[in-house]
Amino acid sequence: MFMRIDHVGIACHDLEEKIALFEQTFELTVVAREVNEEQGVKEAMLHIADGNGGGSYIQLLEPLGPDTPVGKFLAKRGEGVHHVAFGVPDVAEAMREIGGKGVRLLDEKPRHGTMGSSIAFLHPKDVGGMLTELVQAPKH
């Protein structure tokens, strides 16, 4: 079902500061920046490698406000790993398959993700404490 790890999302207070840190420390390059109002984030994608059906990235996430998923996470847990995203061939199909196993879906339908992707989240409490994102890369 999973083709690759698409990205690891890192919650941070200051996006520009963490971009500089990751660029300098790991020699990664920012390939996209986006504000996603629906998800309540300002985010940047740092490219790592190209894999099966798409790339793999680090996603740096700064909240648009305190009452957002990342804003609440920062208040509760501080900066650090927020979610792991897996590349799937078809996000709607993956949602049906995984939802059918009793895992709670946090989205009723796929949503707009970074770089034209379609995304959906799974409840962390049903996946060993890991907020899990499903990602379908855009078709070219």
Indicate the residue among 89 and 138 with the shorter CB distance to ligand V0V. 138
- Residue 105 engages ligand V0V in binding (rule: CB under 6 A): no
For residue 125, the minimal CB distance to ligand V0V (Å) is: 6
Residue 44 binding result from ligand V0V, Co ion, none, given CB thresholds of 5 to 8 Å by partner type: none
Q: What is the distance between the alpha carbons of residues 11 and 28, in angstroms, rounded to a whole number?
A: 17
The verdict on 9 binding Co ion (CB under 5 A) reads: yes
Alpha carbon distance 36, 113 (integer Å): 8
The reply to whether 4 sits near ligand V0V by the rule CB under 6 A is no
90-118 burial by CB neighbour count: b if 16+ within 10 A, else e?
ebeebbeebeeeeeebeeeebbebbeebb
39 binds, among Co ion, ligand V0V, none (CB under 5 to 8 A by kind): ligand V0V
- Supply the DSSP symbol for 6: E
- Report which residue type is found at 91: V
Q: Is 136 in the site for ligand V0V (CB under 6 A)?
A: no
Contact between 121 and ligand V0V per CB under 6 A: yes
Is the torsion defined by CA of 135, 101, 109, 124 positive or negative?
A: negative
Structure tokens that stand for 79 in this block: 């900066």
Nearer to Co ion, 102 or 107 (CB): 107
Minimum gap (Å) between residue 2 Cβ and ligand V0V: 15
For binding to Co ion (CB under 5 A), which residues are involved? Answer: 9, 59, 85, 133
